[in-house]
Amino acid sequence: MIDFPPASSRQLVILGATGSIGTSTLDVVARHPERYSVFALTAYRDTESLAHLCLRHSPRYAVMADETAAGELRRLLRNASCQTEVLGGAQALCEVARAPEAHMVMAAIVGAAGLEPTLAAVRAGKKVLLANKEALVMSGRLFMEAVASSNACLLPIDSEHNAIFQALPDDYRRDPDASGIRRILLTASGGPFRGTPLAALETVSPEDACAHPVWAMGRKISVDSATMMNKGLEVIEAHWLFGLPANRIEVVVHPQSIIHSMVDYIDGSVVAQLGNPDMRIPIAHAMAWPARIGSGVGALDFFGISALDFERPDFERFPCLALAYRALEAGGSAPAALNAANEEAVQAFLNRRLGFRRIADVIAATLERAERREASTIDAVLEIDALAREIARAEISKRSTP
Ligand code: NAD
Ligand code: MG
Q: Is residue 176 part of a domain?
A: no
- Which residue has its alpha carbon closest to ligand 1 atom 9? 16
> Band of the pLDDT at 9, cuts 50, 70, 90?
low
Query: Residue 243: left (phi > 0), alpha (psi -120 to 50), or beta?
Result: left
Q: How does pLDDT run across 19-40, given as a tens digit for each residue?
A: 999 999 999 999 999 999 999 9
pLDDT at residue 178, rounded to an integer: 98
Contacts of 318 by beta carbon, 8 Å cutoff, 6+ apart: 227, 228, 231
Q: Is residue 52 part of a domain?
A: yes
Q: Is residue 316 part of a domain?
A: no
Q: Is residue 380 part of a domain?
A: no
Count how many domains the chain has. Answer: 1
Q: Which atom belonging to ligand 1 lies closest to the Cα atom of 158?
A: 43
Q: How does pLDDT run across 89-108, given as a tens digit for each residue?
A: 999 999 999 999 999 999 99
Q: Can you tell me the mean pLDDT for 102-120?
A: 98
* Cα 375 from Cα 80, distance rounded (Å): 46
Identify the nearest ligand to the CA of 159 by its number.
Answer: 2
The answer, yes or no, to whether residue 209 has pLDDT greater than 80, is yes
Q: Which atom belonging to ligand 1 lies closest to the Cα atom of 219?
A: 2
**From the CB of residue 273, how many other CB atoms can be counted at a distance below 10 Å?**
21
CATH of residue 73: 3.40.50.720
Give residues (CB < 6 A) around ligand 1: 16-22, 43-44, 46, 65, 108-110, 113, 131-134, 158, 215, 217-218, 221, 279
Q: Around 10, how many Cα atoms within 13 Å sit in the side-chain half-sphere? A: 20
**From the CB of residue 307, how many other CB atoms can be counted at a distance below 10 Å?**
7
Q: How far is the CA of 302 from the centre of ligand 1 (A)?
A: 31
Q: Can you tell me the mean pLDDT for 262-273?
A: 98
Q: How far is the CA of 133 from the centre of ligand 1 (A)?
A: 10
Q: Is residue 135 part of a domain?
A: yes
Single pTM value for the model = 0.97
* Cα 286 from Cα 308, distance rounded (Å): 26
Contact 243, 207 (CB under 8 A): no
What average pLDDT does the structure give for the chain? 96
Query: Residue 169: left (phi > 0), alpha (psi -120 to 50), or beta?
Result: beta
**What is the domain extent for residue 104?**
11-156
Q: Is residue 307 part of a domain?
A: no
User: Nearest to residue 38, comparing CAs of 24, 52, 20, 56?
Assistant: 56
Q: Around 59, how many Cα atoms within 13 Å sit in the side-chain half-sphere? A: 27
Mutate to test the pocket of ligand 1, among 15, 109, 189 (most ligand atoms within 8 A of CB): 109
> Band of the pLDDT at 401, cuts 50, 70, 90?
confident
Query: Residue 89: left (phi > 0), alpha (psi -120 to 50), or beta?
Result: left
- Which residue has its alpha carbon closest to ligand 1 atom 41? 217
Cα–Cα separations (whole angstroms), residue 95 to 19, 120, 210, 309 = 20, 8, 33, 46
Q: How does pLDDT run across 78-94, given as a tens digit for each residue?
A: 999 999 999 999 999 99
Q: How far is the CA of 305 from the centre of ligand 2 (A)?
A: 21
Q: How far is the CA of 253 from the centre of ligand 2 (A)?
A: 12
Q: Is residue 225 part of a domain?
A: no
> Band of the pLDDT at 228, cuts 50, 70, 90?
very high
> Band of the pLDDT at 190, cuts 50, 70, 90?
very high
Q: Is residue 48 part of a domain?
A: yes
> Band of the pLDDT at 268, cuts 50, 70, 90?
very high
Mutate to test the pocket of ligand 1, among 45, 110, 133, 235 (most ligand atoms within 8 A of CB): 110
- Which residue has its alpha carbon closest to ligand 1 atom 20? 44
